[in-house]
Amino acid sequence: MLVSAKEMLDKAKAGHYAVGQFNINNLEWTKAVLLTAQECNSPVILGVSEGAGKYMTGFKTVAAMVKAMDEELGITVPVALHLDHGTYEGSKKCIEAGFTSIMFDGSHYAIDENVEKTTELVKLAHDNGISIEAEVGSIGGEEDGVVGMGECADSDECKRVADLGVDMLAAGIGNIHGVYPENWAGLQFDVLDAIQQKTGAMPLVLHGGTGIPDDMIKKAIDLGVSKINVNTECQLSFAAATREYIEAGKDQQGKGFDPRKLLAPGTEAIKAKVKEKMELFGSVGKA
Ligand code: 13P
């Protein structure tokens, strides 16, 4: 069931668990995440970066595929189709294309410009009945060409953006996209705590979910994180399972080269990873 992310995140915040956002790249990815959410009776957010949207030939294709797949598979759990790290233009395109949620990432603008653009997009999103995520303090690392230095968010700026009426807020707390370097300092819980104190009931978003130790994830949820984004870990699982299949020569046995067979181990690996994360985040059975 395609819905805005607002209700599922408000429930997660009140219930002290988090909803996973899993980024999708193609049909297999989408199917794997939808089927796992249904099996786990969990709400879920499908994340689409602008790069992945382009890869799938455009946001309209993505929206049509997700809507049809949701229906054809008979998915009854709440599913939000969400733009990840959207530009101002990309956000508008996704609203038109039929996404049910957007993230406008204005973190690289000065705070006044971030506030101005976010304000405009909050109105547009809400007029169209969809949810919107904003960002303060950039997430470190690189994702689809979007590079952030990983600065921690200022809690007063977070309050200012939360007060614009956004439905969820991403705030940098030392998290980065991709695999964490060995000398990573860890999540800055004092920063998260200060943000949570100032923003109250606002569901907070933790980007860069890949490789954050389980105890840190649990502590972050205790401190108000209600949405956790995972991308790289699914990619690594897919790649490892596909490599194993090919290295075992299975693509050369019988009809093992059939794309439906070739992509099956990777798809199963994504399912297992998504299930593991839903259990960790506490969203199983919360649909
Ligand atoms: P990872 O790729 O580090 O899991 O980050 C995902 C993310 O935050 C998407 O916005």
pLDDT at 150: 65
Concerning whether 127 is annotated as a catalytic residue, the answer is no
**pLDDT tens for residues 145-200?**
666 556 789 999 999 999 999 999 999 999 999 999 888 889 999 999 999 999 99
**End-to-end CA, the chain:** 11
pLDDT of res. 149: 56
CA distances to 28, 102, 132, 133, 266 from 6, rounded to whole Å, are: 26, 11, 8, 10, 31
pLDDT number for residue 184: 87
Residues with CB under 6 Å of ligand 1 are 23, 47, 84-85, 143, 177-178, 207-210, 229-233
Residue nearest to atom 9 of ligand 1 (CA): 229
Residues 9-20: tens digit of each pLDDT: 999 999 999 999
Q: Over 60: is that where the pLDDT of 50 sits?
A: yes
Q: Which domains does the chain have, with CATH numbers?
A: 6-281 (3.20.20.70)
Compute, in angstroms, the gap from residue 128 CA to the centroid of ligand 1.
27
The tokens for 255 are 């009809």
Q: Answer yes or no: is pLDDT of 252 > 90.
A: yes
220 has pLDDT over 90: yes
CA gap 228, 278 in Å, rounded: 10
